[in-house]
Structures are given as structure tokens and as C-alpha cells.
Structure 1
């Protein structure tokens, strides 16, 4: 069985024995860039969040985990809302911590890793973008839909680089339930969503 959770369940973390460790995938609504929480218990419970290439996926529906065939075909062939030539180079796939942050700051994005260049869609609203190299440090960028995904990528990339291009993040867990991801210098932070309650949860 596999699973992904929106934040670390404190009940599980508290059951660790002294010196114990636990791993779990923290899923977002951008499942293309998973994060792996590493929880350790020394004198107290500590955690960090690592960006990884592969991870479990939360059960959010197939159409939000992968771009449908028709959506991929539309991205590949449509003219889009606008086209521009940019000298901004998109972050590399290996800069996973940046992409992980993107999934939290701008949720709902799904990457088509099999496409030429960079292809990302937002199935929830139908937005998409494709960026293809057309020369040295020159990219042809096509965007469609209400979201400017290209601008979203570079907004987060700039903030990530300003934070020192970290590979991992600290995961702060408040006993009251709030959890926050942050860099060592606190220049790039975001809060994790609460774990949804079910009808069987004790109030």
C-alpha cells in the first residue's frame, strides 16, 4: 500500500522511539514534484522536507495526476493566447527543490515529462504553457488560459535562488497542528494544509 499526506500526522510522529526515523510523502495538488518528509526523534521530534524525483501520489483523481491525451494534444498543436521569445532559461528538472516550492505556491500544475522542451498544464482551469529552445539561451514560450504559468515558474525560481537555492527545507511542526516549510534563513516559507477530518475522527 502507498500513500501521500498533506502534512505529517503528529500522532504518527509521536509514536517514534528515541532515535527512530520515519519517511512519508507529502503530496500537493501539483503531483509532478513530490516531497519526502524525513522525521527523526532525538530529544524531540525534528523533520526536514526533501524534493525527490519519485514519490507516492495522493488519491486526487487520475485527471489531476496526469495530463489527458486530449489536453496534451491541444498543448502540442494550439496557437495559444500569446507567444513570446524569452532569454529566461527555465529551471532544470534536477532543481527539484524549486519545483517542489512551485507546487505549493502555485498549485494545480502537472508536467508532461515526455514532451520536447517544457510542457505544463493546469487541468483545473485549462491553462497550459510550452517552452521550446530555439537557439542559445533563447526560448519560444506559448501560453494559454487564465494563468501565466511561465511567469509563475520564474517568480518562484527567483525567490528560491534568493534563498540560496536550497536542496532541502526545514519542516516546523507546531504541537497545535500548524506545519510550516522554511529555509534555514527563513527567506522562503510556506504553510502546509491541514489534514482533512473525516466523519470518524474524534472531536
Structure 2
């Protein structure tokens, strides 16, 4: 789905300062020279601080079948990042979100797949609670499971659980906020990339 009503899903291209420099079709932007673009990640926790971990569909072009945080995606041109998180959670997981809030406004990473495909994103990180059940889109997600947060952090650090490269880096950054996800401070929207502040 593209909120702009076009069938071609586009991503927002960024300068090094995080301002909009243009757009590009999502289907063509990821290669060995992927330009910097806007994304997001969201971690959905239940009342027992278990994270909803998702396995990316094996048919996906980037990081197929890899386990990762609950939902990731790209705001469409002109779409607010909060709105994009809500949209993708619904599209990928059939999941309504409650208590959505920003925790890592300035997160950025670059990662390279074995075939040379690059991810290169300014990627604010959010947390939320689930509201309702799941209805997975098989083109996006193969499987899900609820994992105790501290167990996941320990397993990834010890090499017992493989996750996407962005998730692995985000786990370290989130861990620096404290051991209790419910107590993580809300991030300052002023620290978002300028393209994500609207």
C-alpha cells in the first residue's frame, strides 16, 4: 500500500543532515549503492515485557527469513513517521498498536548482505503495546513469537539467536536505556531527522 494512492511504493531519500533530497521506488533503491533514506523500527511488548519477534518472509529480497524486531518499514513521501509505523503494523501483522512512542529518535545504521546489497537508513525506533490479535501477511512475515526481553538480549549477545543487523545494533542502543522497556524514556522529537519531524 502506498498512502499517496500510487501503486509504486516509494522511499524518502535523505541528505547527511536528514533533510529530504528526493524519492525513489522502494523496489529499485536497495543495491550495492543504496542511498541514505528514511525508515523506522518498532518493538511491540506485551504486559510481561515480552517482545513480539518476527521472521521476515523467505521471499523478501533483503534479509529473507531473518528474525527481527516486530515491524520495520519506510514512511511514504508526505507521510508522518508515526502514521507509517501504525500502517505497517496493520499491513504486515494485522496488528493495532497502543501506547506508541519514540525511544531512539536519532538511530542510524548501514549494513551489507552477503550478496553486497546495502541497507542505509536513518531509522527512528519506537515502542508500543499490542491492541488485538495478529493476521500475518505471508508476503512480509513467515512466523512470530513472543520472547522475554532480557532473554532475547542475552541470547543475541551470546550468539544463540541471530537477528537482523539493524535489530542487533538497536538491542545495544535500547539496552543502554535500561533493562525495563516500560521505563525507557520517551525520545525528543527534535532529535528526529528533519525529514521525520513533520
TM-score (norm 1): 0.23
Bigger RCO (CA 8 Å, 6+ sep): 2
Q: TM-score, normalised by structure 2?
A: 0.24
Larger Rg: 1
